[in-house]
Homo-oligomer: A and B are copies of this chain.
Amino acid sequence: MDMLWNGWGDPARATPLPDTVSGLLRDLLGVAPRGAAALPLEEIGVPTSPLDATVRRALEGAVGDRPDRVRTDAETRLRHTRGKSTPDLLRMRTGDTADTPAAVVLPDDHDQVLAVLAACVRHRLALVPFGGGTSVVGGLAPEGGSATAGFVALDLRHMNRLLDLDEVSRTATLQPGLRAPEAEALLAERGYTLGHFPQSYEWATIGGFAATRSSGQASAGYGRFDEMVLGLTLATPEGTLDTGRAPRSAAGPDLRQLVLGSEGAFGVITSVTVRVRPLPRVRRYEGWRFASFDAGAAALRRLAQDGPRPTVLRLSDETETLIGLAQPDAIGASLRRQDAGCLAVVGFEGTEEDTAHRREGAAAVLGACGGTFAGEEPGERWAHGRYSAPYLRDSLLDAGALAETLETATYWSRVPALYTAVRDALTGTLTEAGTPPLVMCHISHVYENGASLYFTVVSAQGEDAVAHWTRAKHAANEAILAAGGTITHHHGVGTDHRDWYVREAGALGVRALDAVKRSLDPAGVLSPGVLLPGNGPRTSAHPHP
């Protein structure tokens, strides 16, 4: 099934706003119903594809002479336009088709990907790999690609097989177009799990997880996606890069770590070898309450540093707890509670014995840190609603509100200052613009040495909603860099974060990565402007300078 073209997920699962929330939006944030409804698909004027006949034939040849694998119809192209950030959805609702690809190409295998890349180089056509289409950082909207010939969206949905499962080594080799639930289903048949459950889980793909260094809600137990990856195959315009001969090695810089996070700028990931684990026998999620965000964060830190380590560990700040966003199914239900404090969700997955032991140890630590056990209900409610928030966002947008998230990470000692700086930047900017926001935050990924901060912002949309949010987002980005955070913990760089990423990586870091890009993609056809500054395909090739 395809995703809702101008919103999130399965249209049948649309989540209307509870009355408490509608009231809150109106009374607290001054949200007014929008004047115009979102345009229906058939009313959006998609310009004719600029793809000429020669190029089309070259692309068809690359995918086995199958015309049905090179699509230029309006609906297919529209469904591959940008990703799922709030600005993306807002633009789509108003019929902005500026970033629509010239064609959508659907290869079957690695060799076809190489052939498509060769055709793009030959015809100086930009190409963007397209997995689940869930980017929220502009990773699917290249720059400099659409001005003339446009660009190709390379949809990897037909590369969706489990290529190998090594039960002795506990590794699986997966094709990039597998959606996470498909991958989990294939592994579950054999008794294994990947354990990667980001909010985009139901729609995102294996290749996308690798390309963007995704991190899932059970990262405390299963690790980040980049920590699960043991090997990658990358199709580049210059040939194939194969990585990962051993789980760990001292043979030079880790080339896997150069591919992870490359976001389509260096090549197309055509297979990913990951660590797998036995399916857990037990899954148990529970709630703990803390008097303050600081107290809760200190408790999470103790578990992250000294253990025992839960599988899921997250903590909402006072505002998020009050609104009930920690449990999307119950949003608004906590509003009347004055003693909400900060809710933590703590989850354990594994064998009966191991989860019992860890749960007992963690309870002792959480209690010693001032936590109060809140039963299993908040945990189960969180688990039930864990993929629902993006549906809620659609309803908020429908109601005329602005709703968006952003995230960062830093070392533990800097967490309080980073939290304050980002919250202040968002609140200040939006208040000054006349739309005071509700800013909520949670910690959802913990490490021995630091943690992520995930912010959710809701306000009125202002005059021009995209420009309005962009101002707030830029202020947050500046605050993140000033407070020593990273510009993104798990959403990736795309085009939206690029200018801040460049500052974070530093001039030499960017120069080194740019050198890598030029060595693998001398013609500059791959995702121009994504991750690194770029101006689209060069008019003449500079083969590996």
The chain A residues found within 8 Å of chain B, CB to CB, are 166, 168-171, 212-215, 224, 226, 230, 236, 238-243, 245-263, 275, 277-278, 301, 305-307, 354, 357, 408-414, 445, 447-450, 484-493, 497, 501, 504-509, 511-516, 518-520, 531, 544-545
Contacts and interface: CB of A to CB of B under 8 A. Distances in A.
Given A249-B486, A413-B169, A512 B506 contact: no
A264 to B, nearest CB: 12
A470 to B, nearest CB: 20
Contact of A250 (B215, B230, B520): B215
B168 A413 contact: yes
A492 B230 CA distance: 19
A508 B117 CA distance: 16
Nearest to A245: B486
14 contacts: A166-B413, A169-B449, A226-B248, A241-B509, A248-B489, A250-B493, A252-B513, A253-B257, A254-B254, A257-B257, A278-B306, A357-B357, A514-B519, A515-B516
A413 B172 CA distance: 13
A253 B249 contact: no
Nearest to A519: B515
B255 A509 contact: yes
A305 B410 CA distance: 30
A254 B249 contact: no
A260 to B, nearest CB: 7
A250 B2 CA distance: 27
A258 B257 contact: yes
A86 to B, nearest CB: 19
A445 B246 CA distance: 12
Nearest to A239: B508
Contacts of A511: 238, 519-520, 544
Contacts of A212: 250
A240 B508 contact: yes
Nearest to A492: B250
Contact of A258 (B168, B253, B485, B504): B253
Contacts of A414: 169
B448 A251 contact: no
Nearest to A412: B169
Contacts of A259: 253
Contacts of A242: 506
User: 10 closest pairs, A vs B, by CB?
Assistant: A257-B257, A515-B519, A515-B515, A169-B411, A246-B486, A213-B250, A249-B486, A168-B413, A247-B450, A246-B409
Contacts of A241: 506, 508-509, 512
Most buried by B among A169, A252, A258: A252
Contacts of A545: 545
Given A245-B485, A246-B408, 12 more contacts: A239-B508, A241-B509, A242-B506, A243-B509, A247-B448, A248-B447, A250-B486, A250-B490, A253-B257, A253-B258, A508-B520, A515-B515
Nearest to A508: B241
Contacts of A236: 508
Contacts of A489: 246, 248-250
Contacts of A486: 245-246, 249-251
A240 B243 CA distance: 28
Nearest to A167: B413
Contact of A255 (B484, B512, B519): B512
A505 B169 contact: no
Contacts of A245: 410, 484-486, 504
Contact of A491 (B238, B250, B450): B250
Nearest to A243: B509
A262 to B, nearest CB: 6
Contacts of A226: 248, 254
B249 A488 contact: yes
Nearest to A507: B239
A63 to B, nearest CB: 23
Given A261-B253, A531-B252, A238 B519 contact: no
A333 to B, nearest CB: 32
A320 B393 CA distance: 63
Most buried by B among A215, A243, A445, A519: A519
A268 to B, nearest CB: 13
Contacts of A412: 168-170
A168 to B, nearest CB: 4
